[in-house]
Amino acid sequence: SETLFFEMADRLAEDGWRELGYKYINIDDCWAAKQRDAMGRLVPDPQRFPRGIKALADYVHARGLKLGIYGDLGTFTCGGYPGTTLDLVEQDAQTFAEWGVDMLKLDGCYSSGEEQAEGYPEMARALNATGHPIIYSCSWPAYQGGLPPKVNYTILAEVCNLWRNYDDIQDSWDSVLSILDWFSENQDVLQPAAGPGHWNDPDMLIIGNFGLSYEQSRSQMALWTVMAAPLLMSADLRTISPSAKEILQNPLMIKINQDPLGIQGRRIVKEKSLIEVFLRPLSKAASALVFFSRRTDMPFRYTTSLAKLHFPEDAVYEVQDVYSGKIISVLKTEDSFSVVINPSGVVMWYVYPTVLPAQPWHVVRQQAPG
């Protein structure tokens, strides 16, 4: 009910989330009444949202936050509530704008591929026409299998601000791994599509729920950050554990996730030892490195060098461990180093040059690492 959203807004505003950039409170499916009103407009369920969505938006805005809502391009939403058919796109966009909604997730249940191809761009136009800025999250590619030729990422990036490419996340480590695998295996297609204002969305963070261990929670946070994913939490902030909160509120992690270049990272190494390395280029010639262990037996000592990870020669770096805060002050490209990675865990580094190489890093960065 609306009480949940009022209380969650208070938590975001008062517990340090808002200042880190967690500003959107998003209502998912099943908020609406089962029937539209006499004018054909969407209305919130009168029992669960007695004050209406506008009052909720006002409350959220008064706390320096923004409100998101859910819609579905089809005859019904996935939960069986009124959908937005093509003839209602403009009207529903106007309704959301009048309520003061700041973000729309538009699902695709009960619609055909043809209707989606027409309706998703039409909703983008309709939202823009309201004059009220609304972030637009599309489920369009997820319904088309997520890959070319069915999905045209050039068009998608012009239509939507973020989009769901793949399966819904479940509260389990298997689900996190299946999403990570799909994104890594298809990174040549997905990675170039992301950038400021248009993002791949691997779905929510499940940190603070029930399915992940402490190490797995740290891993999801690091991997989603290196993939430049929108960070949307799904936990109850009224009862969240201190350890989950610490992971989600790591300020260096947030800084890396929100890097202004907006380049999505890639998996650059996949070892027989079940260690994988991910690299995300950042502004000011910095990088984020994630060393990830799929092992389930014991901590693993992984030895490599920045040279082996395709960093330019003759550079000197300072490294900060994102989780421990420890700093390595002089690391040359050719120097060997070791990291100890816990089972299902990560070591994440923020790497920034103190001596720049002869060859500009931005030239190296544009090449797909090996």
Q: What is the pLDDT of residues 257-282, one digit of tens each?
A: 999 999 999 999 999 999 999 999 99
Q: Is residue 104 part of a domain?
A: yes
- Rounded to the nearest integer, the mean pLDDT of the chain is 96
Q: Is residue 370 part of a domain?
A: no
Number of domains in the chain: 2
Q: Please say which residue of 212, 229, 258 terminates a domain.
A: 258
Strand partners, 304: 337
Integer Cα distance of 179 and 160 in angstroms: 21
pLDDT range class, residue 360, cuts 50, 70, 90 = low
Q: Is residue 369 part of a domain?
A: no
pLDDT of the residue at 361: 53
Average pLDDT over residues 172-179: 98
Tell which residue, 60, 13, 56, 12, has the closest CA to residue 31: 56
**How big is the chain, counted in residues?**
370
Q: Is residue 368 part of a domain?
A: no
Integer Cα distance of 309 and 12 in angstroms: 38
**Domain ranges, residue 299:** 266-363
Average pLDDT over residues 17-29: 98
pLDDT range class, residue 367, cuts 50, 70, 90 = very low
Q: What is the pTM of this model?
A: 0.96
Please check whether residues 212 and 67 belong to one and the same domain: yes
Percentage of the chain modeled with pLDDT above 90: 95
Please check whether residues 220 and 328 belong to one and the same domain: no
Please check whether residues 129 and 234 belong to one and the same domain: yes
Q: Is residue 90 part of a domain?
A: yes
Q: Please say which residue of 219, 239, 258 terminates a domain.
A: 258
Q: Is residue 205 part of a domain?
A: yes
3-class secondary structure, 173: helix
Please check whether residues 192 and 288 belong to one and the same domain: no
Average pLDDT over residues 310-331: 96
Please check whether residues 273 and 223 belong to one and the same domain: no
Residue 365 has pLDDT above 90, yes or no: no
Please check whether residues 181 and 95 belong to one and the same domain: yes
List the catalytic residues. 107, 168
